[in-house]
Chains A and B, each alone.
Chain A
Amino acid sequence: MNALVGTGGLIRLILRRDRFILPAWIVLLAVIPVSYVSGIEELYPTAAGRAQYAATSGTNPTFLALYGPLHSTSVGGLVAQRAGFLPLIVGLIALLTVIRHTRGEEEAGRRELLGSTVVGRHAGLAAALIVTMTATLVLGLLSGLVLTSGGLPASGAFTLTLSWTFAGWVFAAVAGVAAQLTEGAGAARGIALGVLGLAFVLRVAGDVGGTGNELSWLSWLSPIGWAHGIQAFGGERWWVLVLSAALAAVLIAVATAVSARRDVGAGILAARLGPADAAPGLRSPFALAWRLHRGLLMSWTAGFVALGLIFGGVADGVGDMVEDNPQLQEIFARMGGRGGLIDLYLAGIMGILGLIASAYAIQAALRLRSEEANLRAEPLLATAVGRLRWAGSHLVFSVLGPVVALLAAGATAGLVHGLNAGDVGEQLPRALGAALVQLPAVWVLTGIAVALFGLLPRVAAASWGAFALFLFLGQVGAVLGLDQWMLDVSPFTHIPKVPGGAVTAEPLLWLLAVTLVLMLAGLVGFRRRDAAVG
């Protein structure tokens, strides 16, 4: 039988299942960059203004780390840098989509149902890849059109947007391979996310020292680095796309080869046998939750340690920038001189880490919903375990997990920066404080997830919408010049800018109060409602 028979039918099935989410992310991601065009034209209308921006914000390590290098001082160049997190986002969405429609389906047993009809052995993989890759292509073309109509030169616009498409292709292919390796969708997702994280960290490490530093080559090891290496608006290097296309092709070939060799439902990394009896400690809902959460918690913590190392490692270099640039010294003197600049940098970085930690908080809290919807909560709730005890066992991870992750990032950043600057004693507590002060904002996201779980369980995943909104407000809000009241919607707006800034307890207490109310509402709602299936 032809291995691709039935691909068309599966494509239609995927399109039908994703008929809302697919257009939603394409349009959202296509529109974000053009919003930068007007914002930047308004803030920096003159070439001189943009050169000034390039010399300051555009090349400071925070921006280099988060958005990548600046290749041109044209409006397009500034837009391209500001949109520098898009390869990561597109890669993330592509990866999650492919896993969900391949290994996710297999794990749920639905693939088997289809496999017994006329569906070739590669059809599932092919359909998921075709849909995802076409979607990122549509995103690239649409976004390129929108940017061109927004007044940017077409060649630069399309290079930029197609670089996202190709990043999407590479990570769709990475997910295609990961989906063949393990038996569980969670583990496959973990592998693919690990590759994405590694690619991001490599790019950050290569870019953060500025163009032409001795570690620049690291970026060239990363498919995300390639998306920046294409230099949109700054002497485009189209050939970089060939690298991505070639890697994607190789990975797809690997995925196909592995898929041809394994059984439906099986993985290459075979599951090992477990113990015949439970350890004596496995006797409470919390002990079970620990088993279910520990892998995730450890990978998040490891990721935060890596981020802490990178961000802490370059903090001292931020200060050097001032000394290298006599014209700017006066400006920076007003911002508090060398020390003030580093503080500003640390505060900014910790704000980003806080936001990332809130993604973990949501993920851990939503485990409640997936346990319930997959009927794994039912046998537990049919024992002497009360609902609150069961919910609490998972919420511990949503509440304390971010504490662990931020503590790890703050401690490593403070330690590394302290060692560089020669006073660990002072820098460590400052960095720790800056990391931990994010927690009240992070917990608001826990609160939102719990409230939705308790009151509107079927749409609990909408917590990610809140996350996206806060991300948008934090990253794009200021560039767009949004009104303060809109920015105030995000809890992260209310976190004091430390180290350096003043700390007032009031906004933090408000955030804690909001969290408490949301969590209480969610838990009371959960106690009163039916255990909802599906």
Chain B
Amino acid sequence: MENIIVAAALTKSFGPTQALDGLDLTVRAGEVHGFLGPNGAGKSTTIRILLGLLQADAGHVEMLGGDPWRDATTLHRRLAYVPGDVTLWPNLSGGEVIDLLGRLRGGLDPKRKADLLERFDLDPRKKGRTYSKGNRQKVALVAALSSDVELLLLDEPTSGLDPLMEEVFTTCIEEERQRGRTVLLSSHILAEVERLCDRVTIIRNGASVETGTLAELRHLTRTSISAELASPPNGLAQLGGVHDLRVDGTRVRFEVDSNQLGPVLRQLTTLGVRSLTSQPPTLEELFLRHYQDELTGSQPQGASR
């Protein structure tokens, strides 16, 4: 499958701040790619480099078969961008901004614009300074979605949208995927990512820490198990992939890496199971693990804790 975005070992610093530190990102044609990471991880910086607004200090970056810095204007005809912070011109109406941005990109579909305005419930006649944050976001979204482009670069496009509008956004992106467009979606909202994204890249401190399909990432998550056994849980602690084991007589509670689930269950059955509850793995857990390492400052963790 053709790659739309290939970034390898990107570095970028702003004075003393190392914003990107060896970032890798690959986005394939036709996929919706989730781009996740805690605040300040470098998501917006990466997207700005892809837009040729910033120049990477080192590393290789290619988008739509061109160099984002050198071929900026030609590449920009084929993509649309929704910034994380949308600021509008105070004296232009939302409708004017949508039309202007669309035309500067090389044209927009008026039918699709009208349709999106209605679905997002946006009044295009208001002046820029009178829009609320969510409505400013909608102006940028409608401008991007009504353009006929191959690639959408969306930087936290739903920040500020209410749940109803988030739903509308999700439907719109699903439609975009069906049309074969490629989407890079930076987000903090896991439900959105789980629903929309084919593949995900998680970054931290300017470097990628996980990348893969959701199914692949699920392997990195853990299932929580609590069980009542027929005999004391001997040998359980020695099995690979078991964490946080708590034993209370014949009752056990622990977490197990999803790819180690089989051997652990076999061991449990040999011990004799009276009752068992398991909690399925959630991506949230995985993300939280990566987000929290940020706070504690420790290294990313694979299987060990």
| Any A CB within 8 A of the CB of B219 | no
Which of these, A274, A374, A382, contacts B125 with CB under 8 Å?
A274
Task: Give min CB distance, B138 to chain A, whole Å.
Answer: 14
Task: Give min CB distance, A130 to chain B, whole Å.
Answer: 28
Which of these, B96, B103, B153, contacts A274 with CB under 8 Å?
B96
| Any A CB within 8 A of the CB of B135 | no
Which of these, A276, A287, A288, contacts B93 with CB under 8 Å?
A276
| Any A CB within 8 A of the CB of B77 | yes
How many chain A residues touch B (CB < 8 A): the figure is 36
For chain A, what secondary structure do more than half of its interface residues adopt (helix, strand, loop), or is it mixed?
loop
Cβ contact within 8 Å between B53 and A386:
no
Task: Give min CB distance, A122 to chain B, whole Å.
Answer: 23
Which of these, B48, B73, B126, contacts A273 with CB under 8 Å?
B126
Q: Which residues of chain A come closer than 8 Å to B74, judged between CB atoms?
A: 384
User: What 0/1 readout, one digit per residue, does chain A (361-388) give for beta carbons within 8 Å of chain B?
Assistant: 0000000000000111011111111110
User: What 0/1 readout, one digit per residue, does chain B (64-108) give for beta carbons within 8 Å of chain A?
Assistant: 000000001110110111010111111111011111110111100
Q: Which residues of chain B come closer than 8 Å to A271, judged between CB atoms?
A: 127, 129-130
A284 to B96, CA, bound (A): 12
Interface residues of B in 119-148 (CB under 8 A from A): 124-127, 129-130, 140, 143
| Any A CB within 8 A of the CB of B51 | yes
A383 to B143, CA, bound (A): 11
Q: Which residues of chain B come closer than 8 Å to A288, judged between CB atoms?
A: 89, 92, 100
| Any A CB within 8 A of the CB of B54 | yes
CB closest chain-A residue, reference B88: A376
Given the interface contacts A107-B129, A382-B51, does A277 sit within 8 Å of B100 by beta carbon?
A: no
CB closest chain-B residue, reference A385: B104
Given the interface contacts A276-B95, A277-B95, does A283 sit within 8 Å of B103 by beta carbon?
A: yes
| Any B CB within 8 A of the CB of A275 | yes
Q: Which residues of chain A come closer than 8 Å to B96, judged between CB atoms?
A: 274-275, 277-279, 282
A278 to B99, CA, bound (A): 6
CB closest chain-A residue, reference B87: A375
Cβ contact within 8 Å between B99 and A379:
no
Task: Give min CB distance, A285 to chain B, whole Å.
Answer: 7
| Any B CB within 8 A of the CB of A292 | yes
Interface residues of A in 334-391 (CB under 8 A from B): 374-376, 378-387
Question: Most B CB atoms within 10 A — which of A272, A274, A275, A374?
Answer: A274
| Any B CB within 8 A of the CB of A291 | yes
Which of these, B53, B89, B95, contacts A378 with CB under 8 Å?
B53
> What 10 A-B pairs have minimum CB-CB distances, sorted nearest first?
A274-B93, A278-B99, A383-B104, A382-B81, A531-B53, A278-B96, A283-B103, A276-B95, A273-B125, A276-B124
Q: What residues of chain B have their CB less than 8 Å away from a CB belonging to chain A? A: 48, 51-55, 72-74, 76-77, 79-81, 83, 85-93, 95-101, 103-106, 124-127, 129-130, 140, 143, 153
